Structure 1
Amino acid sequence: MCRSFIVQYWIPASLVASLVISGCSLFPEDVAEQNTVEVKPVAELKVPDGLTAAKKPAQYDIPPAPNAPVTEVELKSPMQVLALATNSRVEEEEKEARIWFERSEFTGELLPYLQKNVLDFGQEKQIEMTQKDQQGLIFETGWISRFEEEGFWLWKDMVEKEQSRFLVVLEPKPHGRTVGLRVQLLEHRFIDNTAKLSAIAQKREEVYFLNRLVDKVATVELAQIKLKKAQSRQITLTTGFDEQGNPAMITGQTLDTAWAQLELLFEQNGFVVNDLDRTKYSFFLTYSEPETGFWDSLWGDEETIVLPLTAGDYQVVLTKAEVGTILSWRDGEGKVMSAEQVSALHQALVQLIKKDNIEL
């Protein structure tokens, strides 16, 4: 049965207005009922004579197995080899737990570099590494245990679950600039004799151990990069005079670079930037000596660097020089510091620049 209903619209210009709409449906039948779309199969691509069809990937095909028994499927995804070091890479469609390293400026002779990292890794992790050949290309590990935490609260305990032994193989190319690092699982045993290791779990064990070795190489490489960067960084900040002959500091960095680096320096060493004027390259600061907490004094391994400044307001004005940038240090009222003050402040700032890796 069709019914009528009233829809009310409230309009600011009038108190009440109503509109009566009658009908059985608000939409036409051809919109409400959509026609079924006919799906047409796509014809097989015809390859012209003299040409060959592209290969179809078969890695996702499910082989027919109508009479195969139903087995338990492991729902864990396989692990992936991680090329953490900058000179490492993984080849596509690699079936083994293998990664390739290229010689770089940080490795020197690549094979001795990797041999040392493998042995150092075993020493750090307390894993027995036995060299199995005269060339030092094959290493065999001792038993490596894996533990899991069991229990609750005060009764928690680490329980050994399984053990593994691996073969670590270095595979140098004839030219010596490329060396492969491959890991193979030799033996595995569960503490619970009823458990079994699947093929996917075996590959996961190999990849996990390989990633730990690669992480060791990447850690050593990162330390070398930081050391070389620190050695190559030159501190150009010196004392001198501005254009008016007032005592000042001079850095070889450009005006914009010096501005950005000073922001980092202030942020980390007791300065509060109250205001700044980028058009005049001026900082308005308040300095207070950084407080050393109890834990800092107890565990801190670096000596605290104290600037020869009294607590209060200061200004730093940057001006472009012929080569680099001039830093004019002033008190809160804009008075230029004396040569003795600038010299003492410069010596302390050089220590902060080294400690915080500031480029000035």
Structure 2
Amino acid sequence: MNQRHAAASALMALALLAGCSDVNEFLGNEDSVDYKSTRRGEPLSIPPDLTQASSDPRYRAPSSGSTTFSEYQQQGQQQVASSSQTSNVLPQRDDMRVERDGDLRWLVVDRAPEDVFPKVVDFWTDTGFSVATNDPKAGLIVTNWAENRAKIPESWLRQALGAVLDSVWDSGEREKFRTRLERVNGRTEIYISHEQMLEKRVGADEGQVQWEHGKEDPGLNAAMLARLMVYLGTDVDSARKLVAQAEASPQSPVIQQDVRADGAMLIVDESFDRAWRRVGVALDSGGFAVDDRDRSAGDYFVRYVDTDTGAQQEEPGFFSRMFSGDKPAQATQYRVHLSESGGQTQVTVLNANGQRDSSSTAQRMLGVLKDKML
């Protein structure tokens, strides 16, 4: 009997130690972001040994067909000396900076989008997300919904059983991120925004669960921007300083919504460049699907589902969208057009034929953009 009790006690101790080790590892991470995707699916990757061996001079074959041992040894020493001068361990990076306009921060990388885009995709998958939209043509990356496990309280019961019953605990929050890349004068501008869903208990006994849209947090966007900088090669301290020291512009935009006979219009009291940036981020935050854009013509090609027309939208519920691979019905495509006039920028909606749209749907689209830009 004593032996049985001893064995049971030993098993319990091992379980507790495993749970504590995971919790300690969790607490050792100073970041408050630890996402777990609602869809699992790790991308294929090349084993590190296969990519690192080619850069190690010890594994390189002689350039000629034959060589003596002394010549091979001398060649290896020269290659080691040259590789130490160009080490890729903690390299100094000066090709990234953070710019800011109000609460909006974005990353400017002195590299072409063709080089940056695949690395940003890898960043999201390595962070714990699965990617729902990977569109290099539109420069758009959208993740699936994921849970921030760092929001789960660390009670003693959670510490004891977290490693065994991890699926039981839920933070009650879901986020998905949208990353947009722009090509500007040979550089790449990167914008990050997110949507949030919050779990709310309803009913007399609070036994029912209802998911509601939460408010976008600019601080979370800035945190993910800093993590992206670290992933692209900047050290942690430099990334934090660049994000924190980005000077905010004191100017707030003055936006007027004007309804005319030939169509509705937003008048943004800013230059085209600033208005283009603000409208792009507003489209991301407003849930518009951006298929393409033409900065030289001032056009965003977007799809929009008007939920106020009275027509029933055959869209799945929140959990269905998270766990199902089915796509909602195709929405109508519009063009959001920007043009500068007298130091101001006019924002209008064009239909598929390129004509000014005066419908109530166009007015509601501009209303959403106005709310997101203020």
Query: Does the alignment reach a TM-score above 0.5?
Result: no
Larger Rg: 1
Q: Please report the TM-score for the alignment, with normalisation by the length of structure 1.
A: 0.30
Q: Please report the TM-score for the alignment, with normalisation by the length of structure 2.
A: 0.29
Higher relative contact order (CA 8 A, sep 6+): 2
